Amino acid sequence: MKTKPHLTTERQKMLNGDYYNAFEDNLIKDRKKAQKLCQKLNALPNGSQQKRLKILKQLLHADQGVWIESPFRCDYGYNITLGKNFYANFGCVILDCNLVKIGNNVKLGPNVQIYTATHPINPEARMLGKEMAYPITIGDNVWIGGSSIILPGVTIGHNSVIGAGSIVTKNVPKNVVVVGNPCRIIKAIE
C-alpha cells in the first residue's frame, strides 16, 4: 500500500523555520488582509480605544489593556500574541513571518522593529527568493527603548530593559539592562 507524500504548505515551512516562498498565493492574500486591517487601525484618530481594540483583535491575538499607537505595520498579524497591558509607541513594525509572543506589561518605545524574517547569506539562494523566519519571545515586564531592533530567533527574558537604539542579535537573560549594536549587558536589575 502506497502512502501519500506529506505535503507541507508554505505557511507551515515558514513557521518551521525552513526555506519558504513568501510570494505564494495564500501568503500574499494573508498579507493583504493584514495590510487592510493596519490601514484601518492607522486611519483611526487617537483616543478611539474601543475601535482600535476591535481591529487589533481581528488582526492579532490581543489581551486586555493593549494599546498600539499609529502607525503600526505587520506582515500577517495572526502570528502575534500580546499579553496584558501591552503598549507600542508610534512607528512599530512587527515582521511576523514566524511566531512573536510578547508577555504581560511590555512597553515598546517609538520605532521599535521586531523581525522574525530573514534571508539566506548565500546570494544564489537569495536570488531564488528563498526566505526563512525564526520565532521571537519577549518576556513579562520588558521595556524596549525607541528605535531598537529585535532580530530573528531572539528571546528576551522577564524584566529586562533594552536601551534605545539597540540591535538585539542574541538572547537576553532576565533582569538585565542591555544596550548597543550589538547589544551587551551593562548591568543587572536587582
Residue 167 corresponds to which cell in the numbers above?
540591535
- Chain CA centroid to CA 93, Å: 7
Distance CA 173, CA 158 (A): 8
Answer whether the bond into residue 110 is a cis peptide, omega within 30°: no
Residue 75 sits at the vertex; the CA angle it makes with 6 and 25, to the nearest 5 degrees, is 45
Distance CA 129, CA 143 (A): 35
Output DSSP code: residue 41. H
Q: Which of 53, 112, 111, 54 is nearest to 85 (CA)?
A: 53
Can you tell me whether residue 113 is helix, strand or coil?
strand
Distance CA 42, CA 61 (A): 18
The catalytic site residues sit at: 119
